[in-house]
Structures are given as C-alpha cells and as structure tokens.
Structure 1
C-alpha cells in the first residue's frame, strides 16, 4: 500500500475500501462547504458511492494513471489529495485536493501538496505540475501561490456548480523552479553548494 509519512502526525495513504464509511461521513459533514467549489459532494449520496470511488482510484493507481490519497492527521481522515492524471509523455500532472472545514488553518493542505510536489519531481521524474482553482476561491489560490506556482491564465465559465459558472485559474510549477526555490531556502547556489555570505 502507498503511504507517505509527512511528519509525526500527518501522512498520506492510498484509500482502502474499509475507509469508505469514514470518507463518506467526512464529505457528508462538509457537503455544503466543499460543494461550493467542487462537484463530487453532490454525487456522493451514500457510503457505497465513496466505496466505488475508492475502487476506481485504486485501479487508476495500479495503472499509474493518477490517483487520490487520504490525508490522515493523527490517524483521522481529514481530507483527500491526488494526482488527477499522470501524463508520462509530456511529463506532467495536476494536483487536486480538499480538506474538511474543521481541519483548516493548520497547514495540512500545504504540507500535503509539498509532499506530492517532491514525489512528482523526484520519484515520478515529471517536469511540470498544475493546480486549478476557481478564480473566486481565494484560499485555494493562496496555497498554490505560497508554494511558488505561477498563474498561467484563466479559463472563463470553466464549470457550472450550484447554478453558477465558475472561472478556473490555472497555476503551473516546473521542476527547475521547485529546485531553485528549495536551494534558495536552504541558502545553496544552483549547483547545491553553500553560498558565501
């Protein structure tokens, strides 16, 4: 089973069918909150819907075709994150994510995205990661911007949710940009050596 330990309390792991009830309860508690920006809560009406989703994502994981992971904080399911697809030909992917409202404000999503960025660039050897967010979803956009993603454009009337059209802002991050950011943060030069001060 895929598991990525982020720190003492936080880890990501491939969802299992036994997680269906917990996943459904989390979605159901946050239906209106998550549903403001995403469509899947309106299609998740029973635990069986969550079970079917988990089975689909496990098949996609087996095919290396993108997948969703559970976000676990102190062994409690608090949200989900994943690669919406993995395009090996063009060496790129897109990260999607959501978190229960009661777990916000603790850096969980930022740390989880950072883990998937590192994995995509170092293990999957991809060149680019994208994140899409509704133009009016300022919280989600702020996360992408904080992690160094560059705004690459806005798609008008990208999707229709809750009786309204939402524009989608596309953010991109290249492997070389991520490496540069990490080197700068560590005080290293472009070759990985400590810069003289």
Structure 2
C-alpha cells in the first residue's frame, strides 16, 4: 500500500473494505459534523453498511470509475477524499471530501484534494474536475477557491437532503488552468 505525506503528521492512503471497523469508528466520531451537508453518515450507520460502502468504491476503483482515499492524522483516520465520478473516456471527474471536526481547519482537505486532482490531470489526462457543494457549506466552498476552481453555477433547490431542499454549487478546474496553479501551495 502507498501513503502520501500531507505534512504535519498527516497522510493520504487508499481506504478499503478491510478497514471498515476503523472507518466506522471515524464516522461515529464525526457523524453529526460530517452529516451537515453530505449523506455519508446516513449510509454507513453500522459495520455491515460501512463495509458495503467501502466495497462500492473498491469496485469503482477496479472498474476505473471512482477512487477513495482516507486522510490519517497521527495514525488516526480523520477524513477522506474521493472521486465520486471518474470518466476517463470523457476526461471528466467529480472530487469530494469529508472530515471529522477534530481535524477541521488544518488544510488537510485542501492538500489531499490537490494531490488527487494533480494525479487525475497529470497522470490520467482528465480535462475537467468538478466539485459539487451545498451553497451553505462555506468550508467546502473555500476549498474550491483555494484550489483555483471557478464557480460554474448553482442548481437551485436541486437536492432534497434530510427533508430540506438545498442549492448545489458546481465548481470546476480545467487541465489548462491547473497547470497555472493559481492557488499556489496555500492551505
């Protein structure tokens, strides 16, 4: 297995089904915080559902249709980043993230997403990387801005989440823009 240093005791590694217990413990620590804007805690409520969700991404990886990576801080799983959608033939993908509250505010997501976007564009030849985010999710929007993404638009009240309609902002970065790296190395 590989691990990529994110600095400050953090690293990025594949997150796989055999790690379901560790993943579930992480979800339990951050369930309420993570669930503010994403449904991941709702679909990983117990060990069996956590293992099944991780298996979905193992299958996506095998099919070259998605990827899943965990963020470990000082040896503890504290979050993750993923390609929810990965379409190599079309040259487009959608990145996403989550993080438990104890790890928030350290730049971990920005650094981790920068690693996977760089891989997608430079190694896999992706032309467009998207970032879908609830309009109320200010921390995630700040990540998109730090990564040099542009806001393409807002899908108004498109997502019924926990009984409430929310807007979704679509942010993106194109391969020619990524090379310029306007965000620099800021976290």
Q: Within the alignment, does 1:112 sit opposite 2:112 as a pair?
A: yes
Runs of at least 4 residues off by over 3 Å: 1-8
Conserved? CA contact 2:154–2:167, under 8 Å: yes
Which secondary structure state, in structure 2, belongs to the residue aligned with residue 6 of structure 1?
strand
Q: In structure 2, what is the Cα distance between the partners aligned to 1:169 and 1:158?
A: 10
Q: 2:74 — aligned with what?
A: 74
Q: TM-score, normalised by structure 1?
A: 0.87
Q: 1:99 — aligned with what?
A: 99
Q: In structure 2, what is the Cα distance between the partners aligned to 1:78 and 1:185?
A: 25
Q: 2:40 — aligned with what?
A: 40
Q: After superposition, what is the alpha-carbon deviation per residue over 1:84-123, rounded to whole angstroms, capped at 9, x for unaligned? A: 1211222011101000011111110110011111111111
- 1:74 deviation in Å? 2.1
- 1:150 deviation in Å? 0.2
Q: After superposition, what is the alpha-carbon deviation per residue over 1:22-63, rounded to whole angstroms, capped at 9, x for unaligned? A: 111111222221111011212222111111111221111111
Unaligned runs of 5+ in 1: 187-197
- 1:157 deviation in Å? 1.4
Unaligned runs of 5+ in 2: none
Select between 26-35 and 88-97 the one with higher mean Cα deviation. Answer: 26-35
Q: In structure 2, what is the Cα distance between the partners aligned to 1:93 and 1:85?
A: 5
Conserved? CA contact 1:36–1:162, under 8 Å: no
Q: 2:130 — aligned with what?
A: 130
> CA RMSD, aligned part only?
1.8
Q: 1:56 — aligned with what?
A: 56
Q: In structure 1, what is the Cα distance between the partners aligned to 2:134 and 2:111?
A: 21
Q: After superposition, what is the alpha-carbon deviation per residue over 1:125-184, rounded to whole angstroms, capped at 9, x for unaligned? A: 1111010110111111011011110000000112111221110000010111111236x9
Q: In structure 1, what is the Cα distance between the partners aligned to 2:86 and 2:57?
A: 13
Q: In structure 2, what is the Cα distance between the partners aligned to 1:12 and 1:23?
A: 14
Which secondary structure state, in structure 1, belongs to the residue aligned with residue 126 of structure 2?
coil
Q: Within the alignment, does 1:28 sit opposite 2:25 as a pair?
A: no
Q: TM-score, normalised by structure 2?
A: 0.91
Q: 1:189 — aligned with what?
A: none
Q: Using a 3 Å threshold, how does the CA distance of structure 1 residues 3 and 125 change in structure 2: closer, same or farther?
A: farther
